[in-house]
Amino acid sequence: MLWIKAFAAGFLATLLCHQTVIGLFYLAGMVPNPPFNMSPVPPLGVPQVISLAFWGGVWGLPLWWLIRACKGIHYWLRALVIGAIAPTAVAMLIVFPLKDMPVSAQTMIGGLIVNGAWGLGVALLMWLMRKPAPR
């Protein structure tokens, strides 16, 4: 059950946190595309934001595994750092080259910020879904 919660937290954090930061970047003129991109992506033709949220859910599993035992500020810092670095590294080193997309300092820094927000979102959602202490 906990792993389903971790997937759901990653999925929702993508929609709530990741896309909010993308929206702020878009409003500031820092990225060309608005958040919640509904363009279909191959091979299934699902909206891009749903595909992204699915992968956010998949990433939520290892993130939760790595932060689950932490307490206090270490929980939040680990979620921020791992959330920022791991997905950004995979995007820049694997996904972008596969899609012939350029990697720049701007995309790297933007990725760290957006994915760090996602990591904090996962941590917050998992914290909100924690089992209440018995009375």
Q: What is the pLDDT of residues 76-97, one digit of tens each?
A: 999 999 999 999 999 999 999 9
90 vs 93: CA distance, rounded Å: 5
pLDDT score recorded for residue 113: 98
Residue 122 included in any domain: yes
Average pLDDT over the chain, rounded to whole? 95
Q: Are 63 and 75 in contact (CB under 8 A)?
A: no
pLDDT score recorded for residue 121: 98
- Residues 6 or more apart from 38 whose CB is under 8 A from it? 47, 48, 49
Residue 135 included in any domain: no
Total tally of structural domains belonging to the chain: 1
pTM: 0.92
Residue 105 included in any domain: yes
What range defines the domain where residue 15 resides?
A: 2-128
60-87 average pLDDT score? 97
Residue 51 included in any domain: yes
Please identify which residue in the block is written with the tokens 């500031």.
28
pLDDT above 90 (res 69): yes
pLDDT score recorded for residue 133: 63
Residue 57 included in any domain: yes
Residue 76 included in any domain: yes
pLDDT above 90 (res 135): no
Residue 133 included in any domain: no
50 vs 38: CA distance, rounded Å: 8
Residue 134 included in any domain: no
> What pLDDT, in 10s, does the model give residues 14-58?
999 999 999 999 999 999 999 999 999 988 999 999 999 999 999
